[in-house]
Amino acid sequence: MDINNLIIENIENPHELEKMYRKDPNAFKKSFSHAWEQNPDSQVLGVWYERLHFKKTANTEKSSIFQKGFLFMGILAILAGISTRIIFHFVEQEAIAPINLAFGIIPFIAAYFVYINTPKKRVIYSLVALFLISGFYLNRLPLNHKDSIFLAYLHLPIFLWVLVGLAFTGNDYSKGSTRLAYIKFNLEYGILYVSMAVSGMVLAGLTMHLFSFVGLDIEDFYFSNVVLFGAAALAIVAAYLVSLNLKLAKNITPYIAKIFSPLVLVTLLVYLITVIWVGKNPFVDRNFLIAFNGILLGVLAVTIFSITESDSDEKKNISDYINFALIVLALIIDSVALSAIVFRLSSYGITPNRLAVLGVNILIWANLIWIMLSYKRFLQNKSGPSTIQDAVTKYLPVYGLWAAFVTFTFPIIFN
């Protein structure tokens, strides 16, 4: 039977119309115009007309935004590539620390978000001042291998990440929903950047291999002038593409969260049982304590991304119970790590490394307690999922403040 007739026959059956559309959208769209001409007064077909034709308007608007954003993104990508190459030159000369390479990328990502969000002047001035202060302070530090200097290098990117978050949220930096969007952006950004970077590495390997056939070794030149430039520029391009709401990244992140949460939970349980079985002790084994803290950070990251990618409705599912189990497990790990750190501090004295690890473990422990209590209330039907997300988003600035404290005070305190 002709689909035109099917549309008219099922004009009072929205379910069947939706079924026909999903089965073959293109055929439905082609035949719809004829059905619409015959029944221009039908409210049902009127709704379908707006639905089918609204996308064209949206795409037209998106294309104009695309042109504007694309041009600015392209300028920033080129500037990021040039800046990174210049910074790398001074890093090669050992005139500045390698961590300065972050300033060849991160400020330009922040500039892009400032451009598309147009925050108030006080936000822009704050971002510019904090980036300038960070860069100036970083290059006033002595180029040595002291623990306090290394900790400053390690914590600076975290502080800069928070500054990018301020640029991303713009005037809505105090809203939990906007902070939640920033966390989701990071996951989507990571997936997209890695995907494109892998393609870039394949191209780089193929290029160098082709030149080797003609007796030219371009590895050093290609890395310094093409790979480095491309990696920096790609960071800006990836931020731009994610901001376009690409379906690829958005559709895949919830599945990654749902797949990895149970896998991490099972792997971690097996690992901890094995650790107990073989008698590993984080109280006396420094390297194992470091690994223990690395596991904790990984579990925290997986848990946060699982929470942010969970559905915003009131319904509970198996993923919520897996997340809750992960949080409890992370709390156990953090409690053991805290005990071991306090033991080592009391036994071996205070060092920059021990104090920094103690501080971050206390912060994570408090955050996990907050998330666990919020999750418990949600599972008991005493609150909605928004309280869990608040426990994540409202705590983000605390990590930024701690990173700033370590970066700007540890080199002075432990001089």
Residues 102 and 225 in one domain: yes
Total domains present in the chain: 3
Residue 413 within a domain:
yes
Residues 399 and 258 in one domain: yes
Residue 47 within a domain:
no
Residues 315 and 368 in one domain: yes
Residue 60 within a domain:
no
Residue 167 within a domain:
yes
Residue 28 lies in domain:
3-41
Q: What is the pLDDT along the chain (415 residues), one digit of tens a residue?
A: 445 567 877 778 887 888 888 777 777 777 777 788 777 778 888 888 887 776 544 444 444 445 557 889 999 999 999 999 999 999 999 899 999 999 999 999 999 999 988 889 999 999 999 999 999 999 999 888 788 999 999 999 999 999 999 999 988 888 888 888 898 888 888 888 988 888 888 888 888 888 887 777 788 888 888 889 999 999 999 999 888 765 555 566 666 767 777 887 887 788 778 877 877 777 766 677 777 777 778 777 877 777 776 655 556 778 788 888 888 888 888 888 888 888 888 888 888 988 998 999 899 999 999 999 998 888 888 887 788 888 888 888 899 999 999 999 999 888 7
How far, in Å, CA of 133 to CA of 129, rounded? 6
Residues 386 and 260 in one domain: yes
Residues 86 and 187 in one domain: yes
Where is the domain boundary, 245, 265, 294? 245
**Global confidence as pTM:** 0.78
Residues 357 and 407 in one domain: yes
Residue 57 within a domain:
no
